[in-house]
Amino acid sequence: MRALSRILERMSDRREFVSSLLAAGAALPVLRRGVLRPADLPSGNHPSALPSGNHPSALPSANQRHWQDLELGMFVHFAPNTWQDKEYDDRSTPLSAISPDIDTDQWAQVARDLGARYVVMVAKHVGGFCMWQTRTSAYGIKATPWKNGRGDVMADLAASCRRLGLGLGVYLSPRDDTFGAADKGRCDTPEKQRDYDRLYRQQLTELTTRYGELTEIWFDGSIAIPVCDIVRAHAPHAAVFQGPCASIRWVGNEDGFAPYPCWNGIPRARAATGEATAKDSDPDGDAWLPNEVDVSIRRPNWFWSTTDERNLLTTDQLLEIYYRSVGRGAQLLLNIPPDRTGHIAAADAARAKAFGDEIRRRFGKSLGETRGQGREVVLRLGAPVAVDHVVLEEDLAGGERVRAYRLEGRAGGQWVSLGDGTAIGHKRIQPVPPTAVDAVRLEVTESVASPRIRRLAAYATGAAPPPTWNDPGPR
Q: Report residue 78: phi and psi, to 5°.
A: -155, 120
Alpha-carbon gap, residue 180 to 137, rounded angstroms? 13
Closest CA to 294 of 72, 64, 65: 72
Provide the greatest CA pair distance for the chain. Answer: 78
Beta carbons of 141 and 130 less than 8 angstroms apart: yes
Closest CA to 440 of 366, 381, 389, 364: 381
pLDDT at 47: 52
Q: What's this model's pTM, rounded to 2 decimal places?
A: 0.89
Residues whose CB falls within 8 Å of the CB of residue 358, separated by 6 or more in sequence, listed in order? 315, 319
Beta bridge partners of residue 301, listed in sequence order: 298
In this structure, what is the dihedral angle of CA atoms 261, 316, 307, 341, given to the nearest 10 degrees? -100
DSSP codes, 213-276: --SEEE-TT---S--HHHHHHH-TT-EEESSTT-SBEE-S-SSS---SS--SEE-HHHHTTT--
pLDDT at 15: 37
Q: 208-217 as b/e, with b when 16 or more CB fall inside 10 Å?
A: beebeebbbb
Q: Report residue 179: phi and psi, to 5°.
A: -80, -30
N residues, the chain: 475
Alpha-carbon gap, residue 123 to 245, rounded angstroms? 20
Closest CA to 304 of 349, 353, 257, 355: 349
Q: 122-144 as b/e, with b when 16 or more CB fall inside 10 Å?
A: bbbbbbbbbbbbbebbebbbbeb
Alpha-carbon gap, residue 49 to 51, rounded angstroms? 7
Q: Is 388 left (phi over 0), alpha (psi -120 to 50) or beta?
A: alpha
Residue-level pLDDT, tens digit, the chain, 475 residues: 434 344 334 444 433 433 333 333 333 333 222 222 333 333 345 554 443 457 888 999 999 999 999 999 999 999 999 999 999 999 999 999 999 999 999 999 999 999 999 999 999 999 999 999 999 999 999 999 999 999 999 999 999 999 999 999 999 999 999 999 999 999 999 999 999 999 999 999 999 999 999 999 999 999 999 999 999 999 999 999 999 999 999 999 999 999 999 999 999 999 999 999 999 999 999 999 999 999 999 999 999 999 999 999 999 999 999 999 999 999 999 999 999 999 999 999 999 999 999 999 999 999 999 999 999 999 999 999 999 999 999 999 999 999 999 999 999 999 999 999 999 999 999 999 999 999 999 999 999 999 999 999 999 999 999 999 999 987 5
Residues whose CB falls within 8 Å of the CB of residue 148, separated by 6 or more in sequence, listed in order? none
What are the domain boundaries of the chain?
A: 2-55, 66-363, 368-459
3-class secondary structure, 63: helix
Alpha-carbon gap, residue 394 to 453, rounded angstroms? 4
**CATH fold of 368-459:** Jelly Rolls (2.60.120)
Q: Name the burial class of residue 307, with classes exposed (0-12), middle (13-18) and buried (19+) by CB atoms within 10 angstroms of its CB.
A: exposed
Does the domain made of 66-363 have the CATH classification 3.20.20.80? Answer: yes
Residues whose CB falls within 8 Å of the CB of residue 22, separated by 6 or more in sequence, listed in order? none
pLDDT at 27: 31
